[in-house]
């Protein structure tokens, strides 16, 4: 999901082989940097080190990109002095600082007419302190469905065990789905070998994407679901969302209750 590239000016004009690339256009008294993205819903963090150019120490630039070419920055040379520069960037799926579309009501992340108990909700004392996240107790191998449509951007299908110990913290199988508004839906603790989708797939709400498991830091088989947006410096923020259930739309789920998917 994260590409880190260090490019020198000699690479300007090289064909773009990644989701996001940066190229340089040179003029007599300036250089301009452009980002080319092959997709919507990505963000770039871009920086330049320059000598004898203005601005000499430009700030790090963070910008959301849409598919196509976007101007990032222009450096102008100082007359009579030899200019020198190099630049670096990395890109991420998701729009940094994305505004969630609060009109969206999320499906429950399991099959229609099925009922599961919500064990832990937002700000839960066990592991959700200060987070908006939902834990549904599910037997191993239960089909997990997309709560909202979008593009699959990450699938981790490596880990066969889990437990309460902190050593399992980074060992959870998961699927991330990029939404139209630049936020990301996360489905975590999935069963190894039960994935039904791959990066690049576009899925509709309700589509089966994997099966529930107990991978990673977990005290028992369940599905952890959350929606988050990217922040700067690699941070993320989980977001409050509402759900559509068999009992109604725009429902705020309560821990300890069971919910049926419509």
Q: State pTM to two decimals.
A: 0.86
The CATH label, of 3.30.300, 2.30.110, 2.60.40, 3.30.410, for the domain at 2-93 is 2.60.40
Domain 105-260 classified CATH 2.70.70.10?
A: yes
Looking at residue 219, its pLDDT comes to 84
Judge contact between 165 and 105, C-beta under 8 A.
Answer: no
Tell me the C-alpha distance between 129 and 108, whole Å.
22
Tell me the C-alpha distance between 256 and 49, whole Å.
54
* H helix intervals, the chain: none
The CB density around residue 84, as the number of other CB atoms within 10 Å, is 12
Tell me the C-alpha distance between 196 and 203, whole Å.
11
Tell me the C-alpha distance between 148 and 205, whole Å.
4
Please list, in sequence order, all residues whose beta carbon lies within 8 angstroms of the beta carbon of residue 143, skipping any fewer than 6 positions away: 110, 111, 208, 210, 211, 212
Instruction: Note down pLDDT in tens along the chain; length 262 residues.
Output: 333 333 333 334 456 678 999 999 999 899 999 999 999 999 999 999 999 999 877 788 999 999 999 999 999 999 999 999 999 999 999 999 999 999 999 999 999 999 999 999 998 777 778 899 999 999 999 999 999 999 999 999 999 888 877 788 788 999 999 999 999 999 999 999 999 999 999 999 999 999 999 999 888 899 999 999 999 767 899 999 999 999 999 999 999 999 999 9
Looking at residue 6, its pLDDT comes to 33
* Residue spans per domain, the chain: 2-93, 105-260
Judge contact between 157 and 199, C-beta under 8 A.
Answer: no
The CB density around residue 192, as the number of other CB atoms within 10 Å, is 16
Tell me how many helices (H) and strands (E) the chain has: 0, 24
* 2-93 matches 105-260 in fold: no
Judge contact between 198 and 142, C-beta under 8 A.
Answer: no
Across the strands, what pairs with 258? 117
Looking at residue 77, its pLDDT comes to 93
Q: How does 36-64 read in b/e, with b if 16+ C-beta sit within 10 Å? A: bbebebbbbbbbbebeebeeeebeeebbb
């Amino acid at each position: 999901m994260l590409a880190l590239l260090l490019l020198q000016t000699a690479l300007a004009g090289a064909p773009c082989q990644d989701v996001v690339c940066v190229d340089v256009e040179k003029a007599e008294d300036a250089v301009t940097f452009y980002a080319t993205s092959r997709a919507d819903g990505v963000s770039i963090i871009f920086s330049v080190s320059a000598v004898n150019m203005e601005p000499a120490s430009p700030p790090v630039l963070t910008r959301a990109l849409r598919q196509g070419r976007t101007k990032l920055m222009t450096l102008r040379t100082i007359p009579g002095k030899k200019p020198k520069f190099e630049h670096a960037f990395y890109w991420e799926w998701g729009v940094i600082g994305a505004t969630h579309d609060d009109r969206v009501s999320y499906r429950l992340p399991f099959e229609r007419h099925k009922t599961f108990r919500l064990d832990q909700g937002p700000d839960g004392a066990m592991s959700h302190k200060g987070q908006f996240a939902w834990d549904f107790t599910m037997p191993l191998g239960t089909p997990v469905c997309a709560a909202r449509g979008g593009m699959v951007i990450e699938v981790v299908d490596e880990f066969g065990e889990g437990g309460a110990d902190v050593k399992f913290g980074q060992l959870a199988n998961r699927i991330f789905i990029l939404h139209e508004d630049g936020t990301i839906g996360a489905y975590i603790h999935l069963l190894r070998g039960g994935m039904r989708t791959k990066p690049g797939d576009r899925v509709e709400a309700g589509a089966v994407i994997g099966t529930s498991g107990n991978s990673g830091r977990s005290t028992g088989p369940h599905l952890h679901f959350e929606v988050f947006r990217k922040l700067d410096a690699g941070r993320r923020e989980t977001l409050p969302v509402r759900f559509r259930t068999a009992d109604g739309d725009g429902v705020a789920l309560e821990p300890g209750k069971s919910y049926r998917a419509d």
